[in-house]
Amino acid sequence: MRQRRIGSFSVSAVGLGGMPMSIPGRKDRATSIATIHAALDAGVTLIDTADAYTAPSDGQGHNEELIAEALASYGGDSSSVLVATKGGLIYADPGPWTRGGTPGYLTDAAKQSAARLGVDAIGLYQFHRPDPDVPYAESIGALKNLVQEGVIVHAGISNADTDQIREAHSILGDDLVSVQNQFSPAHTDSRAELDLCAELGLAFLPWSPLGGIHRASDLAEDHSAFGDVAAELEVSPQQVALAWELSLADVVVPIPGASRPPSIIDSAKAADLKLSNEQLANLGC
């Protein structure tokens, strides 16, 4: 499978997003474990999670524990898998999420995530979303300390605008390796952030790359050009969307969510799907 870089890691160009397996409406644990195993079988070596991917009754960390369990029970070699987690959001009931951006909160959260994942150091730890009550530099400073203490290998940020990316980059330097923002055929607002990542050599991880849990299956209905190219290539419109995102810059690594094996098996094929210039032009976005 085509590879891309996130800091010192070489990962599959398409990752797996863990959120649908853990938030309310999720499927049973066996189906979720089978989904993660199917991703690994397909060659996926990036799994995106967060301590906040959970249901109120579970507390923080349902998805991290699920991924740790799936990796431990996998029959094959999972040593090259990068599990990228996040901190800074707290799942609340009534929900959905509240912010936690103080250095003390983030430091404790990262250590708890490492314990749930069963690792000495988290390969990629992402600040989930800016906390309006905490200066951004203070939250990012906590990530710097976490790298220096060896709790995390690399730092990432999420839901950041171009000013915040530049600020985080100036504080973290080479310790900052990725930005994760919403990006899909339906949401192209973060194009400036994607371009800045390409300029700075940071990985850009589109979240909800298929339009989100509730719109992913309607992608061709919502964006007919993707359906047309998919019909021409005899692949799914979801694969075309992911291949289009991959074509935008070689720092892009989409993380489509899945809660069933067939979804990630199909999405993973997009890593090796190349669209022609004519097809890209026909997508019109």
Q: Which of 263, 271, 273, 275 binds ligand NAP (CB under 6 A)?
A: 263
CB of 49 to ligand NAP, least distance (A): 6
61 binds ligand NAP (CB under 6 A): no
Shortest reach from residue 106's CB to ligand NAP, in Å? 15
Identify the bridge partners of residue 11 per DSSP, sorted by sequence position. 4
For 262-266, the CB contacts below 8 A with 24+ separation are 263/35, 264/16, 264/35, 264/38, 264/39, 264/42, 264/44, 265/38, 265/39, 265/42, 266/236, 266/238, 266/239
Q: Which is nearer to ligand NAP, 106 or 210 (CB)?
A: 210
Query: Binding to ligand NAP by residue 158, rule CB under 6 A?
Result: yes
125 binds ligand NAP (CB under 6 A): no
Q: Contact 91/54 with Cβ under 8 angstroms?
A: yes
Region label for 150, one of left (φ > 0), alpha (ψ between -120 and 50) or beta (otherwise):
left
User: In this structure, which amino acid lies at residue 4?
Assistant: R
Q: Which stretch binds ligand NAP (CB under 6 A): 1-9, 111-119, 207-215, 243-251?
A: 207-215
Residue 194 touches ligand NAP, criterion: CB under 6 A:
no
Rule CB under 6 A: is residue 19 a binding residue for ligand NAP? yes
Applying CB under 6 A, which of residues 267, 271, 275, 279 lies at the interface with ligand NAP? 267
Asked if 190 is part of the footprint of ligand NAP (rule: CB under 6 A), the reply reads: no
| Residue 91 annotated to the active site | no
d(CA 212, CA 20): 10
Which residues are at the interface with ligand NAP (CB under 6 A)?
17-20, 48, 128-129, 158-159, 180, 207-213, 216-217, 236, 238, 255-260, 263, 266-267
Query: Which residues are known to be catalytic?
Result: 53
